[in-house]
Amino acid sequence: MDTIHTLSDLLVNSGCEYHIYDISRRVQRIDNEQFANVEQASQPYPYPIQRQAQFAIAYWNAEKQPWIWFLKFNLDERGLLSQADVGQFLKFVMEAMGTRLSKEMSEEQQQKLANNPFTFKPKDDKLAVFHSLLRAELALPTSQYYTHAQEYFAGKLGWDNWQTVGLQGITDIAARLNTDDNNRLVRTSLRHIANEPRYALLGALEHISLPAKVSDTLFELAQRELETQHADLFLLSAYVRALSGGKPEQLESLISTILASPTLSHQEILIAIAGRSWLPLTTPALAEQFLIRLAQTGNQTLFNQLFADLVMMPSLRLVLLPLLHSSPSPELAQALVALQQSATQGRMH
């Protein structure tokens, strides 16, 4: 027991196989070794949101029926996990289950483990994506909604008859783009489907590493939307998010075009870039342009929130911090001054 200081120690000690998934931003795997480094505070959490690490641990034995924990921990100003918090959660686990994660838990043990401040329930859409991705990765059967969703996306039910299509079926298709002809079904149906299933599908694709052809289709549809006289900013925002796992050069091109236009740089789209499609912001010129557009919304609260959120990202920290000391546009300079004032006031309270 003395050797168990981290969740990784506990999982390895129990002889389980396990996967870690970020749930904060995009639902995506975190390498087990990287997660062990995060737990030892030798590297920051890779995808923080609102100064928290939100992640899922799925662990299983030979029977391949995974048990799942959804956990959230606060991070310090460097983005590091609090080892005291992890230790506290481990104490809850060991009191409920002992030092080896056993198969069956009594009702009392489950209740004991549930009563802690570190577990949480993700939103339904992320939960659906997570279950679909996990089942696909472990080669487990799809949900009961999969076949019906496939029939809809194949056009067999009529494009307007989407009301009986379950979200879990849509996320199953997204998680299995490389099987059952789903790649083609998605690309074809995106040109025909009604708005509700379109948004649901695009929302599922946000969390997927996209095959090249799906990325091409999304990019083409986004470009087409850009070229219309009155672009639908909410649909454009959904395409931006959906392309987060697509070809990096397509995402960068799309975001460059959007940020070049004051009209297209609506706060809904800026939130989408910050939340899902931040990768192009590792280019300093685009990061600065993004912050200028954010400042131009006149929404100082949103500016403070998104800047604080993005600067915690290890991949963006060294891009964004120098902008605090550069000589940017008047609007950005003003927004940065207000940001620093609110940070100072926050420290004084």
Q: CA–CA separation, 301 vs 172, rounded Å?
A: 37
Average pLDDT score over the chain: 92
Domain ranges across the chain: 7-114, 124-188, 209-348
pLDDT of residue 1: 47
Q: Report how many helices (DSSP H) and strands (DSSP E) the chain contains, helices first.
A: 17, 4
In the prediction, which pLDDT does 331 show? 84
Q: Would you state the pLDDT for residue 96?
A: 80
Residue with the larger pLDDT of the pair 3 and 181: 181
Provide the pLDDT for residue 330: 85
Judge whether 120 and 163 are in contact, CB under 8 Å: no
pLDDT given at position 108 = 73
Using DSSP's 3-state secondary structure scheme, residue 312 falls into: coil
The region of weakest confidence among 24-33, 83-92, 265-274 is 83-92
- Label the pairing between strands 52-60 and 17-22: antiparallel
Cα–Cα distance measured from residue 312 to residue 80, given in angstroms and rounded to the nearest whole number: 10
Average pLDDT over residues 188-192: 96
Residue 63 has pLDDT above 80, yes or no: no
Cβ contacts of 113 within 8 Å, gap of 6 or more: 92, 93, 96, 97, 105, 119
Return the higher-pLDDT residue of 121 and 331. 121
Per-residue pLDDT tens for 231-248? 999 999 999 999 999 999
What's the pLDDT tens digit per position in 82-132? Answer: 888 999 999 888 888 776 776 666 677 777 777 789 999 999 999 999 999
* CB distance 54 to 71 below 8 Å: yes
Residue 348 has pLDDT above 60, yes or no: no
> Is the pLDDT at 308 greater than 80, yes or no?
yes
Whether 55 shows a pLDDT value over 60: the answer reads: yes
On the question of pLDDT at 327 being above 80, the answer is no
Residue 33 CB-density burial (10 A; 0-12 exposed, 13-18 middle, 19+ buried):
exposed
This prediction's pTM: 0.92
Which of 217, 141, 224, 211 has the alpha carbon at shortest distance from 181?
211
Check residues 144 and 84 and name the one with the higher pLDDT.
144
Those residues whose C-beta lies under 8 Å from the C-beta of residue 260, and which sit 6 or more positions away, are: 289
Mean of the pLDDT values across residues 276-304? Answer: 95
